[in-house]
Amino acid sequence: MEPSLAHFLAEHYGAVKTRYPGEGRRKWRLRVADMFWSLSPEQKAAYLTSISQNPLTAESLEDADFNTDEDPSDDISDDAPGVGILLRTDYSDEEAWQSFYAKLQDAELEFASDAAPEGADADMDGEASFAAQGAASSSTDAEGDTAMEDEDADADDGDDAAPIFFVINAPPAERAKFAGISNLAALRLLNDVDVRRAPAPPAGTKRVRPPSRLVDHDGWQEVYSGKTVWIYDAKSNQDQCVRLVSQKSAAMYGTATADSWRARVSHICELQVNLASGAMSIDFGGLDRWDYEERVRNLEEAVRPVS
């Protein structure tokens, strides 16, 4: 089992939950992660040795409260339909948003049509089946009202209408918490925090200074698990692209968790399905072509205390 935060969560999560009642699983995990990052290099090294010698079972992890407790955002993340989450964070141009959303719906229909071979039955397997089942769009409309079909009707249809994206377009009263947020803030809201061993620097390359938990901090890196997050921002009004947010750094040393790059709306359905199926990973051939401004923003936010 790969080194992770699990042992540290098992030791500290319960006390954190008692101290901060009502916050929910994701914020409790973030508070425990902050405790981990405060450890000295020697303490982190001792932790690695300890977890290597005393691995947790898969059953204990599956049933652990730090994995099963509810979170206020579960209804728009884990429990929502779709294999990816598209989050609108700019509300300044409704016409541009509506144009983008119409293109997204067209792209979903076109992708499903291309992916499903004629005459294919319901139990076809492979990527085509996965994509075809992801044809239905799940979203909220401009006023924030749910635009999904009636749940009872969906229940009768089984899994035939599983969407590719769950689109979060918050109603006006709820937009403040989403407006202009960073990649890291979106991950912390919609994914669960964890840690892993950071990629090793190439021979002759020094570790990053100052250390950063999103890149390399005493040989560890903060990572996230959950559905892939895509962000519609102010630039999207002009370029009709969204930010694809990474849950961990690329293999290239020096890249960071929460890095992003912009993808055009006409391409994101295929990208999401291939990423979710494991058929694709994005590393730009070993080059660092991620959005540097967003990386700087994430690195600055990463060290702020959980509030």
* DSSP label of 253: B
pLDDT of residue 160: 52
Q: Are 164 and 82 in contact (CB under 8 A)?
A: yes
- Look at residue 294 and give its three-state secondary structure: helix
Tell whether the model's pLDDT for residue 131 goes beyond 50. Answer: no
φ, ψ (nearest 5 deg) of residue 303:
-90, 0
Report the relative pairing of strands 165-168 and 84-88 from DSSP bridges.
parallel
Least Cα distance to 137 among 115, 113, 165 occurs for: 165
Residue 203, CA distances (Å) to 179, 206, 208 in order: 42, 8, 14
Q: Are 232 and 89 in contact (CB under 8 A)?
A: yes
pLDDT of residue 290: 87
Least Cα distance to 293 among 252, 237, 234 occurs for: 234
- At 185, the pLDDT band (50, 70, 90 cuts) reads very high
Which sign does the torsion angle of CA 294, 296, 299, 302 carry?
A: negative
Tell whether the model's pLDDT for residue 119 goes beyond 70. Answer: no
Report the relative pairing of strands 228-232 and 220-225 from DSSP bridges.
unpaired
pLDDT of residue 113: 81
Largest Cα–Cα separation, the chain: 61
Residue owning tokens 């290099």? 41
pLDDT of residue 157: 47
* DSSP label of 72: T
Top pLDDT among 206 and 119 is at 206
The string of pLDDT tens digits covering residues 253-278 is 999 999 999 999 999 999 999 999 88
Top pLDDT among 36 and 162 is at 36
Tell whether the model's pLDDT for residue 127 goes beyond 50. Answer: no
* DSSP label of 135: -
pLDDT of residue 3: 92
E strand segments, the chain? 84-88, 165-168, 192-197, 220-225, 228-232, 241-245, 260-264
Mean pLDDT of the residues in the chain: 86
The string of pLDDT tens digits covering residues 31-86 is 999 999 999 999 999 999 999 999 998 888 999 999 999 999 999 999 999 999 99
**Arithmetic mean of pLDDT, 272-299:** 84
Q: pTM for this structure? A: 0.87
**Arithmetic mean of pLDDT, 296-302:** 97
pLDDT of residue 282: 75
pLDDT of residue 2: 87
Tell whether the model's pLDDT for residue 120 goes beyond 50. Answer: no
